[in-house]
Amino acid sequence: MEYVMGYLSALIVIAVGLLGIILALIVLEVSKPKFAVALILSLLIVGLGGYYYYVVGQAEQGVANPNVLNSILKVSAETSIPPSVILPSSIPTGEMIPSVLRGQSGSQGTVKKQSAPPVKIKVKESKSMER
């Protein structure tokens, strides 16, 4: 039963492509460049539907890798799973920046906390607000 659905969906794709060809012939009366684009796209859809029909038939017969196009293009190649990202529990805002005094090493050195410099933001007033 699963192959029947594959065949039906392939035939639906081919039918949509044939309807596109008919539409392209209608557009021919209006504009030739649009006709050429519509005809090329419709033929592409019909070709892909035919290929889909072929792949379903090969899968039904039990061919090892019926999808030759996929093996050429490597579309569904397995990708490695990226490692999970560990986010810090809190993001420093810059309010208190620790600085270690020079000349003193690691644990013996004292940490002096300095406040962050104030940030000045310039805001331009829009002229459209004046009446």
Q: How would you write 52-98 as a 3-class SS string? A: HHHHHHHHHHCCCCCCHHHHHHCCCCCCCCCCCCCCCCCCCCCCEEE
Cβ neighbors of 119 (< 8 A, separation 6 or more) are none
Examine residue 104 and state whether it is found in any structural domain, yes or no: no
More confident residue, 72 or 16: 16
Q: What pLDDT, in 10s, does the model give residues 104-127?
A: 555 555 556 667 777 777 777 766
Examine residue 67 and state whether it is found in any structural domain, yes or no: yes
Predicted TM-score (pTM) of this structure: 0.51
Examine residue 116 and state whether it is found in any structural domain, yes or no: no
Examine residue 126 and state whether it is found in any structural domain, yes or no: no
More confident residue, 32 or 1: 32
The number of domains in the chain is 1
Is the pLDDT score of 78 beyond 80? no
The domain containing residue 36 runs over which residues? Answer: 2-73
Phi and psi angles of residue 90, each rounded to the nearest 5 degrees, phi first: -140, 145
pLDDT of residue 2: 75
Examine residue 131 and state whether it is found in any structural domain, yes or no: no
pLDDT of residue 25: 94
